Structure 1
Amino acid sequence: MRPMPDALVILSPGFAASEADTTCLPAQQAFVLALKQECPDLDIIILSFQYPFKRSEYLWNGVKVFAFGGKSRSGLYRLLTWLRVWLRLRKLHRQYSIIGLLSFWLGEAAFVGSHFARLKGLKHYSWLLGQDAKAGNKYARWIKPRGDDLIALSDALRAEYQKNYGIAPAYVIPNGVLPGSFPDTGGERDIDILGVGSLIPLKRYHLFAELIHQLKESQPNIKAVICGDGPEMQNLKNLIERLGLGDNLVLKGELPHPQVLALMQRSRVFMHTSEYEGFSTVCLEALFAGAQVVSFVKAMDAQIPNWHVVGTSAEMLAAVVSILQYGHHDCKPVIPYPIADNAKAIMRLYGYKD
């Protein structure tokens, strides 16, 4: 009888609907690609709970994806989605030698995955990726994970989870970037300041616009761009009009990921005004693109080159002014955490060697 192939099962609330869908969780897409590159003989299988919205099975860059089309519905619909995931896990367990389960976020995927892993005696890890480390996460109460079951995306997330739940995640494994995904743009830096992210209150893009308004007083021709879409779009448009920034701040909306990376390569400063982050992948991408990053959140205890962490909006303004006026012309790519190393670190937890 032929041995069953080894497989790692990844559970996630969503995943790319196709290889052209570059805007859905690009950090997780990059991680899966790195995992595939590092472990070519391992079958990677993704179970996506809510998005894509249509139930389907498909290949994404050679990775098998099962989409359950939950559409973020609640009540019985959500329970039905969980049941379908459970039945698929049972079938996969008969077809593959599963080395373990990995859940993106400590949420519903981790809830289903942890119970299945416990029943079958499999390894399961939940990767804390952001707001799931905050207080009030019902899944943390329901699952009651041990520290050894948890991977934190950053030192800051590890500390946040420990503060809120009294348990320190045993592992810190950050995300990273795929160097090959960056286009060749020729090296011209014609954008002074760039912001990238969902237009939601947490990201505080109103503060971004207000800082551009202050910078305009001394630099009337300053050029800034924001990439992203969300419920705050109209409010932001109104603010830009009220502040008279029509010639200084452009809202690009949601763009394909390669276009976002190209804009990063054209930018001098990447300004990240979010009040809370697990470990912003866009900041890491901007560093690799050669931009200087300015943010409020210090994700890792260690200092990262070309990343300026500030405490107030006044400090952010001063840091940006310093960069724009006095240099910081080092545009060499910075890769603090190579994504291949991160993929290897994950696989070591499962004791897997390709």
Structure 2
Amino acid sequence: MKKFHWIQYSFLLFTLLLLICTSCQKKEAKVIRLNEVVHSIFYAPQYVAMEKGFFEEEGLEIELSIGWGADKSMTALVSDNADIALMGSEASIYVYNQGKEDYVVNFALLTQKAGNFLVAREPEPDFTWEKLKGKTIIGGRPGGMPQMVLEYILKQKNMQPFEDVTIITNLQFNSTAGAFVGGTGDYTVEFEPAASTIEEEGSGYVVASLGIDSGNVPYTAYATTQEYLEKYPDRIQKFTNAIYKGLKWVEQHEAEEIAKVIQPQFAETDLDLITTIVKRYKEQDTWSPTPVFKKESFDLLQDILDMAGELEQRIPYEDIITTDFAKKAIQ
């Protein structure tokens, strides 16, 4: 009888210890405050990493917030309201050129093409960029990647922004689609799901992809402060590992599968629409195959800023880009 009680007590003690250990493991998950410039299907590999548990596998817990603009995401980062920001790398160049001592460092690339589309009021199966002469386009914030890539394409097509084409640049990022549907402009430049939603509602039609027509551009990358990088290199490595897992998963699966995985992130968007958007992005090789931010991409980024008149001075690649974590992740 005593032996039976001893076995019972031993089992209870073992169960209690197991529960305590499990609780400790959960508490040990490191929280990463991630600020993304906007919540968009454009960042599908990140949401795959979240939904498939890739961050959890690395012992990380993601606390997600939205900046609604690279300038605001950068503000969150430098004011210590975020640990990592997903945004256009142009913001890092601006901060560096302001002479900030704790400037921001980019450590992992996510998208290698622009993720926005030109939307017209009527279908234009034979669209060419030259047709924009004399027209009005709803663009983006001056100095932001959407606007600068638009200007870059126009110049490549021998058109002068604001001379040959009128561009509206004073609207908030999340109000451009509504303004277009309400009658403003002949064309608008929109991210997803706004572009496909306008199309689905019959209020406009996608006629061109800025991603295809601008070529490979380091559009969005993960960045953090030097202080955070030096203090928590292990967290940055684990974060990069999870992102690479997300990139690989997206590369190896069809649009329908990707859409199902990320649907919880876009609960108000129909699954068929998510699938359409993912397919559109996948077909144009939107997502970088690895998180390595290459020098030639950075040089092109500075060329685009320079052409837009937004580059005070060119800066060394190695000052605001590190590939150490990305290279280790893909080994």
TM-score surpassing 0.5?
no
What interval of TM-score do these two structures reach, taking the shorter chain for normalisation?
0.3 to 0.5
Higher-strand-fraction structure: 1
Q: TM-score by structure 1 length?
A: 0.31
> With structure 2 as the length reference, what TM-score do the two structures score?
0.33
Specify the structure having the higher radius of gyration (Cα). 2
The structure with higher relative contact order (CA 8 Å, sep 6+) is 2
